Structure 1
Amino acid sequence: MAATGIPHFCNDLGVPVVEVGAHEFMCIGATPPFDHPHIFLDMGDDHEIVCSYCSTLYRLNPALKSSEAKPEGCVWQERPVAA
């Protein structure tokens, strides 16, 4: 999860559906430096949403915590910058 507390998800694996535990999150497409603009997605009352940049389908899975995804490789965590 990024420093803002909003979960960030990516789809380097190229899977057709990423299950997430959050209604609101950021899609970054792929891990940097191959990411697209980080898009805030809000499912609202729905259980699915498609990212307008990378066309990844995100589906709510209530069994997951807000910072979790299936497959697990779709969770992106910002790495601290080395000093």
Structure 2
Amino acid sequence: MAHGSTPHFHNTQGLRSIEVGSKEFKCVGALPPFDHPHIYIDMGKDNEAVCSYCSTLYVYKPELGAGQANPAAAVFEAHAA
């Protein structure tokens, strides 16, 4: 995927799980500067995936739109420097 089209999610709140509306995304851990390497996750046919760095459980919820999350605060918005 081209840069900018893959949603990024974070778990700064330390939640056990985050519901997402995308099966392909990147986990950044916590917000910078406390982030981990940005890990590409592809759920494939599954509806759940665990980040290998921060152990956040991501649960796919098709009723959420692509790039959306529950809680909404888990969506990572990169800002240009």
Is the shorter-chain TM-score for this pair beyond 0.5, marking a shared fold? yes
Q: Which secondary structure state, in structure 1, belongs to the residue aligned with residue 35 of structure 2?
A: coil
Aligned equivalents of 1:11 and 1:38: distance in 2? Answer: 12
> TM-score, normalization: structure 1?
0.92
> TM-score, normalization: structure 2?
0.94
Aligned equivalents of 1:47 and 1:67: distance in 2? Answer: 15
Cα offset, 1:80, TM superposition: 1.5
Q: Which secondary structure state, in structure 1, belongs to the residue aligned with residue 33 of structure 2?
A: coil
Pairwise CA RMSD? 0.8
Identity of aligned residues (%): 51
Partner of 1:27: 27
For structure 1, which runs of at least 5 residues remain unmatched after alignment?
A: none
Partner of 2:36: 36
Aligned equivalents of 2:69 and 2:13: distance in 1? Answer: 13
Aligned equivalents of 2:33 and 2:46: distance in 1? Answer: 31
Corresponding pairs, count: 79
